[in-house]
Structures are given as C-alpha cells and as structure tokens.
Amino acid sequence: MLTRASLTATDLARVLEQSTDCVKLLDCNGNLIWMNANGLCAMEIDSFTQVAGARWAGLWPDTLQVDIESAFQSARAGETARFRGACPTAKNDPRWWEVSITQVCDDGGRPIGFLSISRDVTQAENDREALRVMIGEMRHRLRNSYTIVCSLLRRFAAHSPQLGEFVADMEPRIMALARAQSLFDDDTTAADLRELIEVLVTPFCGAAEACFTLDIPPGLTLDRRTADAVALVIGELCVNSAKYGAVSQGGRIGLCWQGEPGALRLEWVEHASQPASALSGGRGQGLRLISRIVKACMGTFDMQWRADGVTATMFLPLPS
C-alpha cells in the first residue's frame, strides 16, 4: 500500500508530463524554461526551442498584461494567483484559458521561479457565449410579446368603454413586467435591489398602491444570479398575494432588507384583511420551485403563517 512518496526532480517532471493542461516553469523574471509535451500540443508549438527563454507574458495579448502582472505580484506574496483570458495559439487558433501561477522555492525557502498551469476552456467559453446569446434573444422576444399583448388588448377594447378601463389598468402592469426584463443587459450587469423590487411589485399595485412598503435603501447592487433568485421569489409571493392575500383582499405588505456581511436577508411581512391559511397557495408548485432555486444558490427560504397573513424570509449568500 502506497502511503508516502519521495519524488525526485525527474519523477516530478514525468508526473507533469502526464497532465493534459499546459504546464510551464518560468524563471524569476518570468521567462520560459520548460513546458510539458501536452502543453506544446495545446499551444500548437512544434518545438520548445521556438519559445525557450521567451518572456511568457509577451505571448499574451496586451489586454491581459495588467492581469498577468497582478498575478505575478500575488504569486510573489505566496498566493496562488488565477486569471482567465483569451490567447491564440502559435498558429493563431483562438483559445480561452484558465491560468494559475504559483511561486516555486528551493529547500531554503528562496524563490527560484514560477509554476504556471493553463487549462483550455475554449469549449466552455463558447458554450457560455452561445447561452448568453440565446438568453438575450429570449428576453428580447419576451419583451416584444408584452408589447404585442398590450396592442391586442387595446384593439379588442377600441369600441368598449368598459374594456377600455380594464386595458388602461392592465397595460402599465404588463409593461412593468417588460421593464423587469430590461434591468439586465448581460451576465455581468448588476441590479439595484430596490429598483428591481419596485419593478416587480408595480404590476400588482393598481389602485392599492399603498399596499406595499419598502424598507430597502437605494444603491444595494446584486449580481445577476442573486437578482434572478430574488425576482423569482418576490414574483411568486406577489402572485400568491394577488390570489389569496393582501393584494386582492386588502391589507399591507412590508419588504425589509437586513444587511449582513457577505449575505442578503430579505423579509416579506404580509397582513391581509381576511384570515389567511397555509393552504391558501402555501403549498403550491411555485413555492416549491423557488425553495429549490434558493437552495441551489446555497440560500434558505422560510414561510411562517399567521392568522392574518404570512412572513417569508429569504437568505442568500453574496459572491465575494
């Protein structure tokens, strides 16, 4: 049974040769002194002599030089630095790489160079880009669908004053849903928490605009994934309230933000004019779905029923 291994430099080189990643050794000045065979293949370099002694950072585009210098500084401080970027191969084939840089020291603790490992993530990046394009197209079509629905409603109500009043009430609510879709342009766009919630609750306000009270300061930004989870939870609670609670029966709803380091805690406190019950939509498919989504984001979602309403609490960790 193997319990301990003592590797010589030759043994270590053989291990690194087996890696499917591009493994490189750099001297203290960042110049290439060794690259494994699979790395040469991944970079489409015919022979290491083509790059031996070359400044490694010089093989990367100018747009990544700041990231590379920052990575070297972090490595010199004893950290394992990482960055992600696009860099073509020696034969100008476009590629995306995830790169790590670690400082190498001798037995006495003196720096003797750097170990850099680059992983080809081109396929994953292409898949992400295709997904971004598809989602963007879906959001665009959804916003167009909202506009078409409003146009159809106006057409059907053209000769009916009674329907005209209904359309005048519904159209701003539908368009508010469309505006919620426009809060994000891409995966990197941050959303303001208060603005997001205002957009989500507006379609359910109608004549009872005072129903909602927001205790949420402006300027609290969320990343895309967290904002999507918040939107799903608040949207579902609004729908349930419109069916069974304060939105349809009268009452009030308070939304309160509680700041915690590295986390978001949002509380929905609903008081309805009519008695409430956990059976009133509290076990529906929508609530089960958002519980699963919040859990997938490493968060928690809890609902506590009272005689006059419900208190729902959502906790989500925020990315560092």
- Asked if residue 273 lies in contact with residue 246, where contact means CB atoms within 8 angstroms, the answer is yes
Whole-structure pTM value = 0.57
* Rounded Cα distance, 25 and 16, in Å: 11
- Say which residue, 11 or 256, is predicted with more confidence: 256
Rg (CA), the chain: 28
| pLDDT given at position 319 | 76
Mean pLDDT check: name the lowest of 121-130, 188-197, 262-271.
Answer: 188-197
Q: Could you report the per-residue pLDDT of 51-74, keeping only the tens digit for each?
A: 999 999 999 999 999 999 999 999
**Average pLDDT for residues 310-319, to the nearest whole number?**
90
- Asked if residue 114 lies in contact with residue 75, where contact means CB atoms within 8 angstroms, the answer is yes
Helix (H) or strand (E) holding 13: helix 9-17
- Say which residue, 232 or 45, is predicted with more confidence: 45
Helix (H) or strand (E) holding 81: strand 81-86
Is the pLDDT at 134 greater than 50? The verdict is yes
3-state SS class at 1: coil
Q: Could you report the per-residue pLDDT of 16-54, keeping only the tens digit for each?
A: 777 889 999 999 999 999 999 999 999 999 999 999 999
Q: What are phi and psi of 112, to 5 degrees?
A: -125, 0
b/e burial code for range 31-49 (CB count within 10 A of at least 16 → b): bbebbbebbbebbebeeee
- Name beta bridge partners: 24: 35, 116
Tokens 């291994």, located at residue: 5
- Asked if residue 192 lies in contact with residue 198, where contact means CB atoms within 8 angstroms, the answer is no
3-state SS class at 214: strand
Is the pLDDT at 183 greater than 80? The verdict is no
